[in-house]
Amino acid sequence: MRDVAVRFRAAYGAPGRHLLLLVGCFAVAGWVALRLAGEATAGRMLLWFVGAAIAHDFVLFPIYGSADRALRAAVGERRARPASGPSLLNHLRVPALAAALLFLVYLPGILRQGRETYLAATGQDQQPFLARWLLVSAALFLASGVLYAYRRWRARNA
């Protein structure tokens, strides 16, 4: 019996409970897929499900990874990791990342998507959101800039 378990483990690559867990996981997903297969929009759901992972891994990540590399090259290694004092790179990275995240999360309002459903639900338009996002982003960069200047000043006078 023990021998069987050892051989299974070597062939499969993990103990039996690993397989049991994964079978359970795929059973739920498979059952949901079968259940939704009859829906007219099942294909779209699948597309969005797989597309969400692909969009993150092969679009969003390369974009922010490359943007960070470009920013780092533009700032220069010396100011990215100064021997003393604050890092200019990080004081740009943080507000840039925050602004990008806000854009992503609140994108429908900023880009005025779904105008009709929005109007039906709220009786309003989405006019103010783009300006608000720009203002919040500007405020984040400004705050980061002020903090950078203060930290530099303090590091020099330390």
Partner 1 sequence: MSADRTSPGDHPGPPPQTEPPGRPAYGFPRRGWALLAEHPPPGARRIGERWRSPLRGPWLTAVYGLALLVGLPLVFLTGLLDYLAYSPQFGQALPHDVGWLRLPPFDWPTGPSWLFRVTQGLHVALGITLIPIVLGKLWSVIPKLFDWPPARSVAQLLERLSLVLLVGGILFEIATGLLNIQYAYLFGFDFYTAHYFGAWVFVAALVTHVALKLRRMLTALRSRPVLAELAVPRDATRPEPPDPDGLVAARPGPATVTRRGALALVGGLSLLLAGLTVGQNFDGRWRSTALLLPRGRQPGEGPTGFPVNRTAAAAGVRAADNGAGWRLALRADGRQASLDRAALLAMPQHTARLPIACVEGWSTLQTWTGVRLRDLAALVGAGQPGSAHVRSLEKAGQFAQATLQANQVLDPDSLLALRVNGVDLTPDHGYPARVIVPALPGVHCTKWVAEIEFRRQPDA
106, 140, 103: which is closest to 126 by C-alpha?
106
Contacts with partner 1 in 138-157 (CB under 8 A)?
Answer: none
Give the list of residues 6+ apart from residue 35 with CB closer than 8 angstroms, or none. Answer: none
- Smallest gap from Cβ 150 to partner 1, in A, equals 18
Percent helix / strand / coil, the chain, rounded to 5: 80, 0, 20
> Any contact of residue 32 with partner 1 (CB under 8 A)?
yes
Q: Does 113 bind partner 1 (CB under 8 A)?
A: yes
Binding to partner 1, residues 44-103 (CB under 8 A):
44-45, 48-50, 52-53, 55-57, 61, 72, 80-81, 87, 89-90, 94, 97-98, 101-102
Query: Which one, 1 or 11, has the nearer CB to partner 1?
Result: 11
Compute how many other C-beta atoms are within 10 angstroms of the C-beta atom of residue 89.
19
